[in-house]
Structure 1
Amino acid sequence: MSAETANQPGRENKKYIFEVHFLRAFACLAVVGVHVSATHFGMNEETWNRLTYFINQYGRFGTPIFAVISGFLLFYQVKRKGFQPGKFLKSRASKIVLPFLVWSLAYRYLLYYYDNQALGTPASELKKILLGESFYHLYFVAIVVQFYLIFPFLQKIFRTQTLMLLFTFVSLLISYNLFGFNPGIEGPFGNFLASKSFMPIWLFYFAFGGLLAYIWDEIVSYATKRPWKMFALAMAVSAGAVVENNINGDLSNRRLSNLVNIPLLSIAIIGMYPLLNKWNIIKRPLILLGQYSMGIYLVHPMILYLFARHLPHQYWHVNYVPAMFVAVLLIAAIFIRILQFIPLSGFIIPVPKLKKTKRSIETTETMDNKKSTA
């Protein structure tokens, strides 16, 4: 598909991609699972049990999938509407950069208040913020911001399916070769290049998201017609992760196997949309989780931090882990919902709006017609 065809107004501009909300919801649940289990680990003298260890290791799929979604949304927007530099800068600054700065300061104050972590020099504090070191989860937002810096150049070059495929292949080579990267440079710059905050390590996931944007209709058409096969694929990837964990021990979300696992799992989750869409009891919470995912990502470590300091020790028994997982999600969702009533709250936590579109109407009508002719 050419860039010119992609940018023409028409039916595609009216589509709303609910499948991405399901993918967001999965990534959100996975990341929260990692941090709930890790907090439980810390509160039990750094001891794992089978449940928390499984949750922690399986949840390592979440962050790379968020990178896929970030790349997808950026390239999908360019594919549909073209690239407007001013609008891009304004949107990213208000929806990502400003909330990132607000929450970096909030977490820095939390550590200052509870852990008596003295403030450093302005330069050192600024460095912490820019590298996402204000708290353990903010590094990924710093990675996304780094990708924003090069995206205006990437979108200008890669505007067709063929070129996106080339970009994805090159990114795969880059991410593969940067595994365990040691720049051999001393000092802050060398530490940054070797850290998990160095964006090129994650480049493949952003690029794969961009490729999805350019083959979206084909992927959705293929995967959603085979939901049970996609479910089997998701189970196969999950089983493979368990086997890999048993062989290699603790796994990082940057492990080499994720270069295969993440594309397969992302497509599988997209394909499972028709199964999950049948039951409102599952569909509605997942859509809400997808809608609130950015906010939950920003807020949930603070909830866990306060839990760790105020909940009585008996509540850190493994039997309470599922309840704690649900409680963290509920408190985060309620906080985000209340915050939405405050003017300019979007600069603190951005929440995308859902749209009713012709796509969902047409899909429903098509299914009804099939039933009536059967």
Structure 2
Amino acid sequence: MSIEGPRERKYIYEIHFLRAFACLAVVCVHVSATNYGMNSQTWNEFTYFLNQYGRFGTPIFAVISGFLLFFQVRNKGFHLGYFLKSRLTKIVIPFLIWSIAYRYILYYYDHQAFGDVQAEVVKILKGNSFYHLYFVVIVIQFYFLFPFLQKLFRTQTLMMIFTFLSLWISYQLYGFQSNINGPVGDFLSSKSFMPVWIFYFAFGGFLAYFWDEIVSFAVKRPWKMFTIAMLISLGAIVEYKVNGYVSNRRLTNLANIPLLCIAVIGMYPFLSRWNVLNKSLMIIGKYSMGIYLIHPMILYLFARHLPQNYWSVYYVPLMFILVILIAVVFIRIIQFLPFSQFVIPVPKMRKRQSMTQKEIHTNKIAV
């Protein structure tokens, strides 16, 4: 199956748009959490909303990870050597580099002494070098399963079976606590245990195998998609108002995330009409992995160097924008350095304008 023409453009732009949404949501969580910490662990109504609403971001990143892997297999097949090399250079090596960087910054600023080599290696492997790296460990665990999964589930019917099976697994593992003592038991009960997240990766595969049908349905109904997104948002507000603090592993996300992903995809053609908004979101989507890796360090340094008066709730929107801008500028600078792809992976994007010109030229010939 080819990925030429419209299908490729849909994949590039709508997935980058979904990436941008997930990235902004994650940054909302960490900006608000840092503000909370800098205000004697006190929430403001606004920061609490940002923190709780942003909990959609991490599961959506899992969906995107599953989508990209299964979409590649669907269109180009699976080559184990390429897969291993790609994942090593784009994910594993950057993860190790940033794990070491965050471990050093904690040593430098917080005087957290280094333990023995085994303890430090275990900390890295569990994603405990800093609070956001656990998710990369989840993704890497999925990589170990993926060569087998892609061989088992290669049709739309089989992908539907995998999705429903994964939904059952994630549902059953909600709130799972292992009875095993020691490091293994701690890992099985931790938020880094991938099977708890398996449904989101599987739904990404579902999107990949039903991409044309889903996009065709969603983009024709932008206002309905907007309504779905608003209803999910209102539901999230009611949930944390009633139940209190909720995490990104909350049970309702098993329904919220698939609906929200489809809604965001459906809204893309409508929102992309605003050129400035479209370009900004495409940049954020393109740099989302780098922003994810870098932004906690920016916030960490802000917390240690900015005067206390800058941690007023009134500065939260400005703080949010600054974190994104600094991260984007830093990524752009890093890209000029040799071997930058091992530090911050940036996916390639085809320029939309050049594709449009090609279409115009083709249409002229046809006429």
- State whether TM-score is above 0.5: yes
1:42 maps to amino acid: G
What SS does the corresponding residue of 1:252 show, helix, strand or coil?
coil
**Which residue of the partner structure matches residue 132 of structure 2?**
137
Identity %: 66
What SS does the corresponding residue of 1:159 show, helix, strand or coil?
coil
CA contact (8 A) 2:228 2:259 kept: yes
Query: Following the alignment from structure 1 to structure 2, what is the Cα–Cα distance between the partners of residues 354 and 77?
Result: 15
Q: Does 1:70 align with 2:65?
A: yes
TM-score (norm 1): 0.94
* Inter-CA distance 9–336: structure 2 relative to 1 (3 Å threshold): closer
Deviations 1:62-120 (A, max 9, x none): 00000000000000000010000000000000000000000000000000000110111
Q: Which moved more, 1:355-364 or 1:239-248?
A: 355-364
After TM superposition, give the deviation of residue 275 of structure 1 in Å.
1.3
What SS does the corresponding residue of 1:17 show, helix, strand or coil?
helix
**Which residue of the partner structure matches residue 195 of structure 1?**
190
Deviations 1:233-267 (A, max 9, x none): 10010001111111111011000000000000000
After TM superposition, give the deviation of residue 35 of structure 1 in Å.
0.2
Query: Following the alignment from structure 1 to structure 2, what is the Cα–Cα distance between the partners of residues 39 and 277?
Result: 32
2:83 to 88, 92, 112: 88
What pairs up with 1:282-297 in 2 under 5 angstroms? 282-297=277-292
**Which residue of the partner structure matches residue 293 of structure 2?**
298
Off by >3 Å, runs of 4+ in structure 1 = 8-16, 356-360, 362-365
CA contact (8 A) 1:67 1:206 kept: yes
**Which residue of the partner structure matches residue 213 of structure 1?**
208
After TM superposition, give the deviation of residue 183 of structure 1 in Å.
1.6
* Inter-CA distance 331–10: structure 2 relative to 1 (3 Å threshold): closer
After TM superposition, give the deviation of residue 343 of structure 1 in Å.
1.0
1:113 maps to amino acid: Y
CA contact (8 A) 1:98 1:347 kept: yes
What SS does the corresponding residue of 1:253 show, helix, strand or coil?
coil
Query: Following the alignment from structure 1 to structure 2, what is the Cα–Cα distance between the partners of residues 276 and 364?
Result: 22
2:259 maps to amino acid: L
Deviations 1:211-232 (A, max 9, x none): 0000000011000011111011
CA contact (8 A) 2:232 2:260 kept: yes
2:216 maps to amino acid: S
**Which residue of the partner structure matches residue 106 of structure 1?**
101
Query: Following the alignment from structure 2 to structure 1, what is the Cα–Cα distance between the partners of residues 304 and 8?
Result: 48
Q: Does 1:328 align with 2:326?
A: no
**Which residue of the partner structure matches residue 372 of structure 1?**
none
Query: Following the alignment from structure 2 to structure 1, what is the Cα–Cα distance between the partners of residues 210 and 22?
Result: 21
2:21 to 26, 30, 50: 26
2:283 maps to amino acid: L
Unmatched runs of 5 consecutive residues or more in structure 2? none
Deviations 1:163-196 (A, max 9, x none): 0000000000000000110121111100100000
What SS does the corresponding residue of 2:287 show, helix, strand or coil?
helix
1:234 maps to amino acid: A
After TM superposition, give the deviation of residue 361 of structure 1 in Å.
2.7
Query: Following the alignment from structure 2 to structure 1, what is the Cα–Cα distance between the partners of residues 358 and 191?
Result: 42
How many residue pairs get aligned? The number is 362
CA contact (8 A) 1:12 1:80 kept: no
After TM superposition, give the deviation of residue 353 of structure 1 in Å.
1.2
2:304 maps to amino acid: R
After TM superposition, give the deviation of residue 364 of structure 1 in Å.
7.6
* Inter-CA distance 61–364: structure 2 relative to 1 (3 Å threshold): farther
Deviations 1:189-215 (A, max 9, x none): 001000000000000000000000000
2:122 to 127, 145, 151: 127
Q: Does 1:118 align with 2:113?
A: yes
After TM superposition, give the deviation of residue 362 of structure 1 in Å.
8.9
2:257 to 245, 255, 262: 262
Deviations 1:267-288 (A, max 9, x none): 0000001111101110000000
Q: Does 1:53 align with 2:23?
A: no
CA contact (8 A) 2:31 2:320 kept: yes
What SS does the corresponding residue of 2:106 show, helix, strand or coil?
helix
CA contact (8 A) 1:13 1:80 kept: no
After TM superposition, give the deviation of residue 14 of structure 1 in Å.
4.7
Q: Which moved more, 1:252-261 or 1:355-364?
A: 355-364
* Inter-CA distance 357–155: structure 2 relative to 1 (3 Å threshold): farther
CA contact (8 A) 1:14 1:357 kept: no
Query: Following the alignment from structure 2 to structure 1, what is the Cα–Cα distance between the partners of residues 271 and 359?
Result: 15
CA contact (8 A) 1:14 1:358 kept: no
Q: Which moved more, 1:70-79 or 1:347-356?
A: 347-356
What SS does the corresponding residue of 1:206 show, helix, strand or coil?
helix
2:269 to 268, 271, 274: 274
Unmatched runs of 5 consecutive residues or more in structure 1? 1-5, 370-374
RMSD: 1.9
